[in-house]
A = this chain, B = another copy of it.
Amino acid sequence: MIDIQSQKDHRKINIQKVGVKGIKYPIIVLDKEAGTQPVNASINMYVNLPHSFKGTHMSRFIEVLNEFRGEINIRTFHTILEKVREKLHAESAHMEIEFPYFIEKTAPVSGAKSLMEYRCLFSGCNAESQKDFLVGIVVPVTTVCPCSKEISSMGAHNQRSFVTVKVRFRRFFWLEDLIRLVETSASGEVYSLLKRVDEKYVTEHGYENPMFVEDVVRNVAERLNGNTNLTWYSVEAENFESIHNHNAYAYVEKE
């Protein structure tokens, strides 16, 4: 059977990335408490394609995923990419893995336990001369507006805010630790289960710690600056403003 993909191409155009996008796949990630956690991921995989080849062999990406089934995580990321490079005869390989991750939280006063979902990302590339790996998390928090609090005789507008942090790092770290750092850098934390005593606490605690999106990204950045394991970071905060139908947003990355 003829191999169309391996035919010569004459347009002299190198393709930086070619591959498969939106593969839904169950993976097992490392969990600080439980050892492992099964999650439903969405995966993109690419390689480069030199100008002289007509096409890549898309099915091989899936074959590599299947080889690593049950072992796709932060520790095996580059091993998978090396396998992709080998199997597709490519100089560089890229992968992005997005997944939800659950952590049990304890309500601040009642001690009631519940599960919170965080969106996570592994993204990286692997080439002879260059390796890159980035971990991302999206953490929901509460922000209370300092301006609204200051100018109003009572109350202050507040809202759910999403803080996205991406980091490059030297040694393995736990997602849980980065998530905790973010959760404790905003006006307040978000929970799945709060009893009335907890609701009183989070309301008062938030009101006493008003923060703009600017404050949140700076608080997180300041603490990340103190972490010698990190070689790079970016921090975004996006407020689903309770008084507007658009969002407030701030972005800072390590300079």
Q: Quick one: CB contact mask for A191-208 with B, threshold 8 Å, 1 for yes? A: 111111101101110110
**Contact indicator B54/A14 (Cβ below 8 Å):** no
CA distance A246 to B23 in the complex (A): 5
A164 to chain B, nearest CB (A): 12
Is B62 a contact partner of A192 (Cβ separation < 8 A)? yes
Q: How many residues of A sit at the interface, in one of the four size bands?
A: 35 or more
Task: Decide if A240 touches B243 in the complex (CB within 8 Å).
Answer: no
Q: Establish whether residues B144 and A4, one from each chain, have CB atoms under 8 Å apart when the complex forms.
A: no
Q: Given A40-B39, A243-B190, A246-B22, does the pair A114, B62 have CB atoms closer than 8 Å?
A: yes
Q: Is the CB of B207 within 8 A of A154?
A: yes
Contact B190 A17 (CB under 8 A): no
Does A127 sit within 8 A of B, measured CB to CB? no
Provide the residues of chain B in CB contact with A117, threshold 8 Å. 24-25, 40, 245
Q: Does A136 contact B (CB under 8 A)?
A: no
